[in-house]
Amino acid sequence: MIKAAVLGATGYAGIELVRILSAHPDTELCVLGSHSFAGQNIKDVYENFDHILDMDCTELDLDKVKECDVAFTALPHGASKTVIPSLVELGIKVIDLSGDFRYDDVKVYEKWYGEPHSSPELLAESVYGLPELYRDRIKTARLIGNPGCYTTCSILGAVPLLKSGIAKTDNIIVDAKSGVTGAGRGLGLPYHFCECTENTKAYKVATHRHTSEIEQELSNAAGEEVLISFTPHLIPMKRGILSTIYVNLKRESSQAELQKIYEDFYKDEYFVRVKRAGKLPETKHVAGSNFTDIGVCYDERLKRAVVISALDNIGKGAASQAVQNMNILFGLDEKTGIKDAGFYL
């Protein structure tokens, strides 16, 4: 059995990790770290765990965590990089759900996060945890920077076009909508029920941190620098992301050609479902799952590909993708514990 610690277990991504891992056939939950709820039983904090998991939350205790094989750090950005060096030094595999270890270039991180990185040597070592692109590197990693929700949705949607060579690399537009769980469990006026319900709004236009993460991976795919226009929106639902990606093409194409590019690229990927021509993704088809659904359309008039991608922001965009990475790290079937269909209702 893989002994696992979840640090930040009572946030939305953390508790989704706990839910998945509590039913994972090859994993034993050993530590639930939570500063806010230390000393309280997880089934009292989240009553859906009654009869499922009887375990107290604790403050961070390295003596307890060092007995684990893997630690998931579902901590706020900035906090992870202060804890992770100690975990790595103990020989524990670390899967970090913050943005602290996702970047190839420390200067890019420091520019977009507005603070120095305290462990640039570990940042240089960390592996970007998107299995569909970096599976072989993930297998031997000791530190994985688990991608964010907007980024996973956008990267998986755009990469096949950039890898194919048919896409222009300028003027890529990503228009994305996210459920409110993407803001985390902390209190804030913009996320109160009366502020969110029956309302849709854009935020952090041209300044969202995930812009830099998406650009990094699209640039890697294209083999040249790619800059994008990224606009996130908050929509009145709990979980899910839908991204619409506009990519101009170098030449005329067809629906059949674009369809084949995507079907060929993802033909061996269980967790990416390319919709057949005429069908488009919906968030209700992926909520509660580790799937990313992708549909592509050809705009013949503008010689442009329009890609629609959808995933669960706290599933494939956070917790279930982290478990997918754990499965790869420990040589398990990648689908173990996370192959179920979404909620739908």
Query: Residue 47 class from Cβ within 10 Å (0-12 exposed, 13-18 middle, 19+ buried)?
Result: exposed
Amino acid at 94: V
Report the SS3 class of residue 295.
strand
In 152-264, the DSSP E strands lie at 172-178, 201-202, 228-234, 241-248
Give buried/exposed letters for 297-313 (b at 16+ CB in 10 A, else e).
Answer: bbeeeeebbbbbbbbbb
Q: Are strands 172-178 and 93-96 parallel, antiparallel or unpaired?
A: unpaired
Give yes or no: 149 in active site: yes
Q: Say whether 171 sits in a helix, a strand or coil.
A: coil
Task: Provide the β-strand partners of residue 143.
Answer: 94
Please tell me which residue in 30, 57, 68, 149 is annotated as part of the active site.
149
> How far apart are alpha carbons 304 and 145 in whole angstroms?
32
Catalytic residues: 149
